[in-house]
Structure 1
Amino acid sequence: MIAMKNTLFILLATAIMLMSLTMVVSHIEKDNAHLSPPILIERTSLNEMLVTVKKFPKDQETLELNILIPKSKYVTVAIKELKLISSKAHSLKCSLPSCFYTYSIVKIREYKILSIKLHSIASLHGKVASVDSMSLVIKWRNPIYSVDAVKYSPIFENIVKNIVYNPENLYEFYIFQGEEEKKINYIIITDQSLNDTCEIFIQHKTVRKNVTAKVYTVQFINSTVDGYDLPERIRNFIKQKYNESGVEWVLLIGDNSTVPFRYVLSNENRLPTDYYYAALDGNWDADGDHIYGEPGDEVDWGADVFVGRIPFNDVNLVNETLKNIILYEMKTNLTPWMKRILLAGGILRYENETGSNLPKLDSATVSDFIADILPEGFSHVKMYEGEGLSPSVYPYNISLSYSSFSNEFAKGYAYINIIGVGSEDTVYRKVWASDDGDNAPETDELSLIAFVDNSTPKNNLYHQSVIYCLASMTCAVDFSVNCLGSYMIKGYMNGSVAFIGPTRNICFPDAWNKPGDGYAFDLNFLFWKLAFSRPLEARKPGMLLYYSKLEYVLSLENITLNDRINLYTLILLGDPEASIPIDDDGEGPQIYAPVSSGNIYDNVSMPYMLQINVTDPSGVFNVCFRYKYGENGTWSSWKPYTECNGSIYRYYIPFNEWSNYTGCTLYWQVLAIDDDNDVPYDRAVSVSEVFVGGMLIDDDTSPPQLISLTYDEVFYDGQKRGYTVEVKMYDDSGISLVRLGFFFEDNKSMTWITPVSQSGFTYAFIIPRNACLPHIRKHIKFIIEAIDADCDRPNDEEKFISRKYYTALIMDDDETPPKLLNVRFEESGGDGIVDSRDYLTIYAECSDESGIGMVIFNYMYSSEGVWRSELMFNVGGDVFSYVVPHPRPFEDLFFYIIAYDNDTDREGDQLYTNSTMYHLKVYGVLTVYFIDQSGSPVENVLIKLVSNNTVISSAYTNSTGHATLKVAEKGGYIIKAYVGPIEIAEEFISILSEEFIVMSGELFTVTVNVSDADGAPLSNFEIAAYVDGESIFSRFSSESVVYIRPVPRSKLHIVVTFYGKIVGSKIIDVDRSLSIGINCSVSTLVVKVESLLGDPMEGVVIKVRELDEVFLTDADGVCIIGQLPHGTYTLTIQVGPITEEKTIVLDQSSKITFKVPLVTKITVGSFEMYITLPMMVIIMIIVVVAAVALILLRKRYVR
């Protein structure tokens, strides 16, 4: 029956349209505010429409025209008539349209809108063409006029009527038929864990708002709906509900992990968006690459549903946020705060900032335009940038700052517009703070200063706002669950009921002077323009957001990448359908005359009273109290009144509760609900100001006092006891607990310890040594905590905690590795060459402040390649040695020393030092035993080891006939024996290890008797023997007989030297052992010294200049100089003041006498006086004169 009625209705409507086409041509001519030229729309046939611009205005080159057309898959637009004014060569620098019109089709739910841009000037074939008038013909085929009635939406119908130029055609093109029994206006999509949490909200929407609502879980959708991924399944489910039930509103509850965003544009620039769930036409991925929303992908910008999001998974947060929305929608009284808007915006860019050559971009520009469109009776507060070198030039009420915004926010504003530089949790002002003199702002001259963030106090109690925030990232809930948008909408009875902001960076224009200049400012302005053109109850944030985006898209001829970014990223956090109905009685009860118990001490065991007067014409339904302890305390829950007496309501706070908050001032507040209950949720609520009660006073409020603290600033690991801290505390009530908390800077875990001893109020703590040792060169930090013994009531004790961390440095008492002062070696042979017969002693001299713990000798022979280690022994002081007995011959010995200190306070404490690598060559030893023809060992035979005509080693035989030769390498060698230049023997030997060989040769002994010229034996002379000019024998002899051995068969030249002079020589032929004598030119010299009277002079000094020697005469005045080589000598004697000198030629034994002109020598003690002849004469004269004088004097006396 219903189907038959619908069919008749369609036939009737079609007949009426045909009749109207045949009888009259419908002319539609309008003058819209945004289209000043007359537009003529003619319905020329059932499937055709003619649009005519009668005349283009001179100051308007482009006309925007939105035309409603029927649902049809086949729509064409073409120029029917064009009237050109002029056509000339293209000489303009700017680009021009290549056609006189462009168009696109946008679908909104079931409605199709043809968006046309008409251009009066275009570039055609290289020429500029201007038109005066234009006609376009619009055609379609197979239109569908009938629409399922369940998809009808008055809200969307109203949007379409306001957008299109021909709303009269709406009821011709779209005929809604059928029943609306299955209608669901509002769906919630969330996790199954939050299903029950939404139940009260569902009832609120359905009962109070008459908006049929239902909740669906992500788990249900994921398991029953097809799609590439979860976002596509959710979108397909929304489309399904739209087609089945005509859904208008969608609320997503959950963060990105629960109800994920659709990420759009590209993998490199992934933008999270909820637009994907609102615009249901097209699949957003035309090329099938799963990169959504790219230019060219099938994106229809017309929203089919309005989407909001509550980005929480926590049950409590979701519950509070939904209750906050319910409370907001229960407001029915048009109080002044509902007609206030706060316009807070900073400067986004300064002129020529960082060399950009761009103009200044001040958000105050768009804020002023918003202020100009406010309805009558609406008030605003402008909060612009007032600081820096280039503040805002626009007039404002309050300078923008963190404190000024917080203060205004607390006053309550129904609407708030915020523009600034954004991050996830903060919106900043940009201030040009300084200038280096070039009058251009650079990066280091600019300051970003927060003016709102997720710590801004939400003190706008019961004055929840709708906030539009143009600041990047402030809705980036996939980055931070506590982003600014999330922070503002969570909670109860405060904050924001809807927060619009971007999920990523927002795109601002280079310059913006008026609406129509594009990008984010245009979207912002359009939102508020649409909001304030509607009554309060119709200002639904979801509708306004998507309606403003649609208006913006329809105004564009080309959608740029920046447009896409803005359209995608601006999302709504909160309820898309949130609105406030109008009530005839919306005033809450009157609250007045607060009274409290005032100041009260904790020794009074009584409740604390709060009293208030509450009245309301409709009666009082309930009165609740809440309170907090201290200005920064946490509010209690709302408590119903305890007793009532008329209009006086009281609440009593139990003693055992308030007494726990002594020292605090009690703050309290009252919430009153009237009894106006005409409809559900009709009751009005009043909340009082915050009242200040009394002070809750403790009779003993003083915490323990720290009197003194004794500790060392450095703790060394050598200290065997732990780290000691001594604390002296005092409190009038006594001390019940003292403890010390400590941690190390490389391990922040706090450990608490109690005292190890107590004496009066002095407490000793020991931090265990083993706890400190792993933290060498780190600080230990500690605090002191003490609790007094005041326990009048639970928690009455006062606690002391030291205000700072005390710090000590844990140090190693020896951080310096040992010093290897000297490494040396000694070989027992003493020749500086290490051979296999040596005892090789390695010495290491070390020093360290902790002493030397041990010294290791590490060595390796080249043939093995294996290192060995031996402990070196202390041989005195800090000198250590190790003996290597008989090193391996023909090897390279490598070794190095490791010296360890004696610092072993803890594991890993011992330090060591490596010496450099030493390398010694170990020689083999060849022993040669040389004997003569008689088998007797021969000394002083030169043994040479020869290889390739090169002498490798040589040595003389010792007194036992042995010679030891050092051999570096194994191999075959020739051994030659020499006496002087005469080779006396030769052997070949192969040396593989230590070798011993006996050699022999013909050698003789020459016995030499040496005497002076008189034949007397000569001693203390030097004798040398030469063969072919080479010395084979040289010796100083104290005996006159000398044995020259060995002597080879040769001509032997013997030379005797005495006092440096050659005094004798002889050349002989040696072919056997023989004895010879050599008589030398040496004679004996004797010197005698006597006085003038012939007396011998003893002790006279005699110098022989040529010998540089001094001799003394004996008691006989004689000095035997001895045997001297023949030659000239100068003799000097010294007797008292007398010196005499003689030169003699000694060629035979001689005796020389010196006659000294002295009479005698007088000796008195140590005084000596020599008397010469002249002195003797003078003395005798004096004696004679004295005697004569004495005789004459005597004779005179006798007379």
Structure 2
Amino acid sequence: MGRKFYALLIVSSLLSMSVTTSAETLDFPMSASPASLSFKGNTNGNVSLFMDGFKRTEYINYPAIPYKVVSVLIPQGEDVAGFRMVVEESLMVDSSLKLASYNGSLRDDGQRLGLYERGEEIVGTDSEFPRWRVKHLGTGWMRGYRIASFAVYPVRYNVEKGGVSLYTKFRLVVETEPAFPLTGRIERLRYVPGFREESRRDVESLVINPEAAATYTFGDVKVENTDHAFLPSYAPSMEGSEVKYLIVTNDEMEPAFERLADWKTRKGVPTVVRTIEWIEQNYRHGADKAESIRNFLQEAYAKWGVEWVLLGGDTDVIPARYGYVTFYSGEFIPTDMYYSCLDGTWNADGDSLWGEAYHSADDPGDDADLYPDVFLGRVTVTTPDQANIMINKIIHYTTPLDTLSKSKFLMLAEVIFPSDYEPGDDIILDGAEIAQNLYNSYLDGNPDVTTARLYETCDQYPGSICLTKNAAIDSMNAGTNHVIDIGHGYKYNMSVGNGSILNYDANNLTNGNATFAMYLMNCTSAAFDTDCLAEYFLLNAQGGAFAVTGSSRSAFPSASRPYMDQYYHLLFDDNIVQLGKLHVLSREPFTSSAYAES
């Protein structure tokens, strides 16, 4: 895990915005207050700069400069033609201040990683850093709405002489132009009650010009079902019943998943099962099996009105899509977002690398749209027996025989840095601080929840219990509804203070039907393209977990924490309890920042 957290006092908010719109020009007045700047360090050359609500650049050997990502809803039928920042007022904050260089984020193994660029690529000829005032990070589709993401940089730094200045009043100007035909968008054809209204609310919550959503119009067709029975068409079409939930598996496991589909349909969620073999016989083939499945999902979304998708198989059954990122050292990351975010091709340049990020208009990447169209999860099973284990867990959790455990919450948190922490050492980052923030926000005093807090630094948190491997396993075996783990991890283990929970331990839990959902804020314990720890929690027939949310690769705390905070905000404040929806919606506010490798 990665980066150090600082406790900062921020005096006021960062940007205030209003908007005016013309036919092909969107003009967004913005402001940044010097009171929102915060400094850490007191030696010239060793000062770090922060702004509340801002991200910071991550270029090795250059200062970490605050910037803000904003999302703009582009007029329907148009696309971004140009953009610029118009500065109206600026202020010299400190003409001689020298900032510390960014030296990378810490990974689990202690390696520091960051972005490496040549000076001329990121520093202006006048020594101003960064060279640009605004960057277009990319443009994507969200259920028919066109959203462009921009990073604005009101803080300026002179790398030669030192000195920090601030644009206190400026405008983001976005030029648009007609874009016909619009490529990459999957058009929703079937009318589903409430879908458009919910989609519009989601979009409005993400963009700085929410009023523009009212200008969008859609031509969804209402399909009459005179029999009032669930009679879906054989293949996605504008005939037959709406299908709300779609399960994709193989022929061998189809009977097991039909049981789950029947159960969901009886509960009022119309569900069908289709197999990979059926898809390959009836749908256009893509470049590989994953693209063929996605082609079918696009049709199901458009014509059946599908909102939920369950991938019924491990990666040897339903392949993962590996997105390529050059951020840090470069890596192929397995992701099922490919099956959830259905617009675009994810391989616009047609090479062997999928999911390449947007870098510029000249290097737009792979058109890897990251806004979700369906709520999606995966059951990592390969045999009918494994499928039945998971299906039984899902059904039993929803109709529990054990109700006592459903009011219990378990928090596991260890010191993250230093990774070889011993009592008495100086602490750089403590997972208990992150967990305690959640506890204070949602669990402390909650009459419906009994929380057990197991912290490595239990002496610093009254009421908590000292985290050990035995204590963690005993707490899970006793039954609980939810487990949060904040600490180090790998594909086959998660660290819990004085030891690690291994695949063997997860597979031998004995909590019976008192199964739990897990949120793992650690590295690679949910690397679902391997026999990872999460899968052993799930496939334990004597207990374990019924659902796991976690990272398939590295999880830096500074990047991961906002996602986790949003997840529990949605759970406790907005009462979103469907895990697939909860997982997807917790990502949405951060999608605009994910388009570029920055």
Deviation at 1:217, TM superposition (A): 0.7
How far apart, in 1, do the equivalents of 2:73 and 2:514 lie? 41
* Contact persistence 1:37–1:57 (CA under 8 A): no
| Residues 1:108 and 2:108 aligned together | no
Bigger RCO of structures 1 and 2 (CA < 8 A, at least 6 apart): 2
CA distance in 1, matches of 2:374, 2:335: 15
The separation in 1 between residues aligned to 2:551 and 2:262, in whole angstroms, is: 31
Give the CA deviation at 1:298. Answer: 2.9
Please give the alpha-carbon distance, in whole angstroms, between the structure 1 residues aligned to 2:32 and 2:378. Answer: 48
| Structure 2 CA distance for partners of 1:415 and 1:112, relative to 1, 3 Å | farther
Equivalents in 2 of 1:507, 1:253: separation in Å?
26
Tell me the CA shift for residue 546 of structure 1.
2.5
1:172 and 2:230 equivalent? no
SS of the residue corresponding to residue 114 of structure 1 reads: strand
Query: Displacement, 1:188?
Result: 0.9
- Looking at structure 2, the residues matched to 34 and 237 of structure 1 have their Cα atoms a distance apart, in angstroms, of 49
Structure 2 match to 1:220: 278
Identify the match of residue 18 of structure 2 among 17, 22, 40.
40
Within-5 A mapping of 1:896-915: none
Segment drifting more, 70-79 vs 541-550: 70-79
1:698-718 Cα offsets, whole Å, 9 max, x none, are xxxxxxxxxxxxxxxxxxxxx
| Cα displacement (A) at 1:451 | 7.6
Which of 356, 361, 371 pairs up with 1:302?
Answer: 371
Q: Does 1:368 align with 2:436?
A: yes
Aligned to 2:495: 428
* Conserved? CA contact 1:470–1:506, under 8 Å: no
Distance 1:462 1:484 in 2: 20
1:98 match: 131
> Of 336, 357, 360, which aligns to 1:274?
336
Query: Residue deviations 1:795-840, cap 9 Å, x none?
Result: xxxxxxxxxxxxxxxxxxxxxxxxxxxxxxxxxxxxxxxxxxxxxx
Q: Give the AA of the match of 1:74.
A: D
2:384 to 315, 324, 333: 315
Larger proportion of helix: 2
Q: Residue by residue, what CA displacement relative to the aligned partner does 1:710-758 show, whole Å, maximum 9, x if unpaired?
A: xxxxxxxxxxxxxxxxxxxxxxxxxxxxxxxxxxxxxxxxxxxxxxxxx
Q: Distance in 2 between matches of 1:346 and 1:523?
A: 19
1:84 aligns with 2:127: no
1:750-796 per-position Cα deviation (integer Å, ceiling 9, x unaligned): xxxxxxxxxxxxxxxxxxxxxxxxxxxxxxxxxxxxxxxxxxxxxxx
Describe the shift of the 1:419–1:214 C-alpha distance in structure 2 as closer, same or farther (beyond 3 A).
same
1:464-479 aligned within 5 A: 464-479=515-530
The answer to whether the 8 Å contact 2:12/2:36 transfers is no
Q: What is the alpha-carbon distance in structure 2 between the residues aligned to residue 166 and residue 48 of structure 1? A: 13
Alignment of 1:696-1095 (within 5 A): none
Contact 2:190–2:302 at 8 Å: present in 1 too?
no
Report deviation, 1:321.
1.4
Question: Are 1:466 and 1:496, in contact at CA under 8 Å, matched by a contact in 2?
Answer: yes
Query: For residues 261 and 179 of structure 1, what CA distance do their matches in structure 2 show?
Result: 34
- Partner residue in 1 for 2:151: 117
Q: 1:166 and 1:285 mapped to 2: Cα distance?
A: 30
Which residue does the alignment assign to 2:80? Answer: 75
Q: Hey, what does 1:347 align to over in structure 2?
A: 415
User: Which residue type is aligned with residue 494 of structure 2?
Assistant: V
Q: Deviations over 1:677-711 (max 9, x none)?
A: xxxxxxxxxxxxxxxxxxxxxxxxxxxxxxxxxxx
Could you give the per-residue CA deviations for residues 1033-1069 of structure 1, whole angstroms, max 9, x where no partner exists?
xxxxxxxxxxxxxxxxxxxxxxxxxxxxxxxxxxxxx
Call closer, same or farther: CA 1:332–1:50 in 2, change over 3 Å: farther
Please tell me the residue identity of whatever aligns with 1:382.
R
Letter in structure 1 aligned against 2:489: G
Contact 2:69/2:150, CA 8 A, preserved across alignment: yes
* 1:59, distance to aligned residue in structure 2 (A): 1.3
- Structure 2 residue matching 1:374: 3-state secondary structure: helix
Tell me if 1:527 matches 2:593: no
Q: Residue in 2 aligned with 1:895?
A: none
SS at 1:75 equivalent: strand
Q: Deviations over 1:178-225 (max 9, x none)?
A: 2155532221111111222222211222231x3222111111222332
SS at match of 1:58: helix
Deviations 1:975-1010 (A, max 9, x none): xxxxxxxxxxxxxxxxxxxxxxxxxxxxxxxxxxxx
Gaps of at least 5 residues in structure 1 are 1-32, 432-447, 510-517, 561-1199
1:141-195 Cα shifts (integer Å, max 9, x gaps): 3489996454735654443343234434323224453215553222111111122
- Tell me the distance in 2 between the aligned counterparts of 1:430 and 1:256: 32
Separation in structure 2 between the aligned mates of residue 269 and residue 80 of structure 1, nearest angstrom: 33
Of residues 119, 137, 142 in structure 1, which corresponds to 2:173?
A: 137
Task: Judge conservation of contact 1:383–1:396 (CA < 8 Å) in 2.
Answer: no
Instruction: Identify which of 18, 21, 27 aligns with 1:50.
Output: 27
Q: Structure 1: which amino acid aligns with 2:583?
A: L
Match of 2:321 in 1: 262
**Distance change (3 Å), C-alpha of 1:271 and 1:75:** closer
Alpha carbons 2:502, 2:533 under 8 Å: kept: no
Cα–Cα, structure 1 residues 154 and 339, in superposed 2: closer, same or farther, change >3 Å?
farther
User: Match for 2:207: what amino acid?
Assistant: V
Unaligned runs of 5+ in 2: 1-10, 38-50, 52-66, 102-127, 225-237, 358-364
Distance 1:331 1:227, change over 3 A: same
Partner of 2:486: 419
| Post-superposition CA distance 1:831-862 (Å, at most 9, x none) | xxxxxxxxxxxxxxxxxxxxxxxxxxxxxxxx
Using the size of structure 1 for normalisation, the TM-score is: 0.37
Calculate the TM-score normalised by the size of structure 2: 0.71
Whether contact under 8 Å (2:483, 2:519) holds in the other structure is: yes
Percent identical pairs in the alignment equals 22
Amino acid at match of 2:566: L
Q: Please say if 1:501 is aligned against 2:550.
A: yes
Is the 1:264–1:294 contact (alpha carbons within 8 Å) kept by the matching residues of 2? Answer: yes
C-alpha displacement at 1:399, in angstroms? 1.4
Displacement after TM superposition at 1:344 (Å): 0.7
> What SS does structure 1 have at the residue aligned with 2:88?
strand
Q: 1:35, 1:63 within 8 Å by CA — same for their partners in 2?
A: no
What is aligned with 2:262? 203
Shift of 1:358: 11
Matches of 2:331 and 2:27 in 1, distance apart?
44
Distance 2:478 2:196 in 1: 37
Instruction: Specify the structure having the higher radius of gyration (Cα).
Output: 1
Other-structure match for 1:551: 589
Q: Secondary structure at the match of 1:373?
A: helix
Over 3 Å counting, the alpha-carbon distance change for 1:403 and 1:34 in structure 2 is farther
1:1158-1197 Cα deviation digits (max 9, x unpaired): xxxxxxxxxxxxxxxxxxxxxxxxxxxxxxxxxxxxxxxx
- What is the CA distance between 1:252 and its match in structure 2? 1.0
Which letter does structure 2 place at the counterpart of 1:279?
Answer: C
What's the Cα RMSD here? 3.8
Secondary structure (helix, strand or coil) at the match of 1:215 reads: strand
* Distance change in 2, residues 1:63/1:47 (3 Å): same
Task: Give 1 or 2: higher strand fraction.
Answer: 1
Distance change in 2, residues 1:493/1:245 (3 Å): farther
Paired positions, count: 490
Go from structure 1 to structure 2 and tell me whether the alpha carbon gap of 1:557 and 1:256 turns closer, same or farther (over 3 Å shift): closer
Deviation per CA, 1:447-471: give whole Å up to 9, x if none. x443885446544444332211233
Q: Does 1:288 align with 2:350?
A: yes
Contact kept, 8 Å, 1:352 with 1:360, in 2: the verdict is no
| Match in the other structure for 1:1127 | none
Deviation at 1:396, TM superposition (A): 5.5
Shift of 1:345: 2.1
Q: CA 1:360/1:396 → structure 2, altered by over 3 Å: closer, same or farther?
A: farther
1:484 corresponds to which residue? 533
Matched, 1:397 2:464: yes
Alpha-carbon distance in 2 for matches of 1:316, 1:256: 17
Per the alignment, do residues 35 and 211 of structure 1 end up closer, same or farther by CA in structure 2, a change over 3 Å counting? farther
CA distance in 2: counterparts of 1:297 and 1:106, whole angstroms: 12
Are residue 384 (structure 1) and residue 455 (structure 2) matched? yes
**Contact 2:479/2:511 (<8 A) preserved:** yes
CA contact (8 A) 2:83 2:173 kept: yes
